[in-house]
Amino acid sequence: MIEDVRAGMAEAGADALVLRPSPDFRYLGGRGGGYLVLTPDGPLSTVAAPAEAAALIPSSARRVAVDPEMRASELFALGLDTELMLASAVLAPLRLRKRPEEVAAMRRAASAADAVLLSARELAWFGATERAMAFRLRAVLAETGCEDVISVVVAAGEHTAVAAHTPCDRVINPGDALLVSVCGRWDGYCAEVARVFAVAEPPDDFEAMYSVVLSAQHAALEAVRPGVPAAEPARIAREVIDGSGYGHYAAGRQARGIGLSPEEGPRPASDEVFSPGMTVCLEPGIFLPELFGARVADVVVCGSRGPEPLSLSSPSLHVMDR
């Protein structure tokens, strides 16, 4: 892998690479704090302070690639009199296609997130608040070994129609639709799973709308194949929703790349093409203002023969009796 990074540095014209704790840092094996430095000839080195990192950079260096998450204070402490560029120009293309051990790590992350949503079915929702249930789900995430809770969404009733809803003190009642999602990081890798429930019974007309979301997800899944443009799953999901008459209410985003970051390449707006090892989160949704909405999310890896879902629980509407 290091030789691939060096090849990318040469192509980008970077004479050194300096990373702080971040997804790129983790990709090169960094743990904890400090800084990673890589040059065309020397070993991958870990140092504690920016000044130590700067001392490893060749005096002849003209261009240095720095971590996208590098703070201004850290850049000043490096004291570099060179042209700076983002290390993502070197590492993002390499991070696009996950190695087998990375796919295995993402499979474990997706399985853990999936387990949280499965256990959510057994919780007592009636009479609880969104905020209280979100707190309980955060506790369950911690029990799975989640090292970083990125987001927990619990939306009930009309709040399911709000794309970026923050759990509040709204009480969950029979007849409410529930949109529940968890996104976290396990052993460095991110996964998100979103599911839709109903308490006692779904609202009128909800199941018809939700069937469109499921159809969009299934159609998008089939597009995660080698040689297919990375923009295709989102385009197809949107096409299904548009064809159902709900196009005006479709979620703004139907898919995104995922890995060490909750959002990374392949990006639907790019000209990237799927190849084995690329991972995406398919997340079609429909939001009907002041009524209800639905969104499902699952992590999928592009396999050599087609899509391989990493979260395996059924997205079918689950009706809870409590």
| pLDDT tens per residue across span 74-132 | 999 999 889 999 999 999 999 999 999 999 999 999 999 999 999 999 999 999 999 99
Side-chain-side CA neighbours of 237 within 13 Å: the count stands at 33
State whether the Cα torsion 286-287-291-295 is positive or negative. Answer: positive
pLDDT of amino acid 1: 84
Per-residue pLDDT of the chain (322 residues; tens, 9 = 90+): 899 999 999 999 999 999 999 999 999 999 889 999 999 988 999 999 999 999 999 989 999 999 999 999 999 999 988 999 999 999 999 999 999 999 999 999 999 999 999 999 999 999 999 999 999 999 999 999 999 999 999 999 999 999 989 999 999 999 999 999 999 999 999 999 999 999 999 999 999 999 999 999 999 999 999 999 999 999 999 999 999 999 999 999 999 999 999 999 998 878 899 999 999 999 999 999 999 999 999 999 999 999 999 999 999 999 998 7
User: CA-CA distance, 200 to 72, in Å (whole number)?
Assistant: 53
Of 215, 141, 223, 229, the C-alpha closest to 182 is 141
Beta bridge partners of 35: 47
Torsion of CA 214, 220, 223, 228, to 10 degrees: 180
* Residue 162: CB atoms within 10 Å: 15
Q: Are 130 and 154 within 8 A, CB to CB?
A: yes
User: CA-CA distance, 75 to 64, in Å (whole number)?
Assistant: 11
Tokens at 90, concatenated: 């070197």
Tokens at 7, concatenated: 């090849």
User: CA-CA distance, 200 to 58, in Å (whole number)?
Assistant: 67
Query: Where are any strands of DSSP class E within the chain?
Result: 16-19, 35-38, 45-47, 63-66, 83-86, 148-156, 177-186, 189-199, 255-257, 279-282, 285-288, 292-295, 298-302, 307-309, 318-320
Q: Where are the alpha helices (DSSP H) in 174-231?
A: 206-222
* Residue 266, preceding peptide bond in cis (omega within 30° of 0): yes
